[in-house]
């Protein structure tokens, strides 16, 4: 790895390292929102500040962790589209870099996680609705009909919610969300 701090005074390097460390630790602590371990979050944070792709050996050296641990973390980050595998002429090792568009990273993650949840919940709700509809058609006591009616109303409300959420997922997946909630201009 190249020395990003060449030509800086020790105090300048220390100040930059301190600022980076704060961001890296914050990223590591908050990656549980994505279902990612803190160590993988720290790896992501480290890579965030790199200006060139890194290989597993470089990551392991910087993080003082094994190549196996780095491989597991990178695989997780690649699966979530948070890190991309890149090709570099002359390099025989796999290289990785952070996806810089955090808006798209969030959208990809949201779609990946919520699409499956919506499908599973809609399937369960529709199956239960069909069973309760059939039970209601069979007659039964007034108390049973009232109970089924209440459950069917709750199920209809849940189905409406998941259909709405499916439309939100479609907005994320298509990128249309950014027409409604634009990415902000660079700020401080």
Tokens 């290989």, located at residue: 55
Tens-place pLDDT, residues 78-99: 998 899 999 888 878 899 999 9
- 120-141: string of b/e by CB count within 10 Å (b at 16+)? eebeebeeebeebeebbeeeee
Strand partners, 173: none
Lowest-pLDDT range of 71-80, 147-156, 160-169: 71-80
Distance between CA 113 and CA 115 in Å, rounded? 6
pLDDT at 154: 98
Answer yes or no: pTM beyond 0.85: no
pLDDT at residue 31 greater than cutoff 80? yes
pLDDT at 186: 65
pLDDT at 188: 63
H/E stretch holding 97: strand 95-98
């Amino acid at each position: 790895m190249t020395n990003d701090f060449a030509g800086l005074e020790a105090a300048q390097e220390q100040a930059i390292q301190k600022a980076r460390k704060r961001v890296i630790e914050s990223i590591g602590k908050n990656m549980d929102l994505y279902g990612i371990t803190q160590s993988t979050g720290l790896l992501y944070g480290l890579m965030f500040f790199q200006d060139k792709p890194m290989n597993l050996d470089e990551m392991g050296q910087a993080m003082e962790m094994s190549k196996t641990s780095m491989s597991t973390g990178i695989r997780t980050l690649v699966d979530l589209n948070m890190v991309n595998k890149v090709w570099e002429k002359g390099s025989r090792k796999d290289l990785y870099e952070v996806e810089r568009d955090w808006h798209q990273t969030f959208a990809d993650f949201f779609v990946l996680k919520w699409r499956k949840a919506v499908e599973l919940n809609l399937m369960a709700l529709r199956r239960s609705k069909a069973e309760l509809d059939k039970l209601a058609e069979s007659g039964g006591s007034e108390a049973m009909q009232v109970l089924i009616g209440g459950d069917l109303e709750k199920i209809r409300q849940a189905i409406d919610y998941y259909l709405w959420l499916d439309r939100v997922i479609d907005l994320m997946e298509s990128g249309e969300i950014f027409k409604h909630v634009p990415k902000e201009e660079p700020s401080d």
